[in-house]
Amino acid sequence: MTQDDIIKMAIEARLPHYWESGDEIVYIDRVTHFAKLVAQHEREACAQLCEASPEPDGLDLADRIRARGNP
């Protein structure tokens, strides 16, 4: 997932480029960072499922899923 992908999804979800959160203004770069953390967490959960699978290629699939997070 690229930063452009994240921004497109944020626009599709009608998130503003910034908004106030208490005493702080949150900018799209923080939303981008958050989205990357969520994607990383989801990739790791999927990789762990593959590792626990009885399928013979489960470990290879887990490695390939994790590699998607390393451009």
User: φ and ψ at 68, to 5 degrees?
Assistant: -65, -25
Residue with tokens 């990357």: 36
Task: Give me the helix-helix angle, 58-67 and 28-52, nearest 10°.
Answer: 170
What span, in angstroms and rounded, lies between the C-alpha atoms of 21 and 54?
46
**% of the chain with per-residue pLDDT over 90:** 42
pLDDT band at 36 (very low <50, low <70, confident <90, very high): confident
pLDDT of 66 over the 90 cut? yes
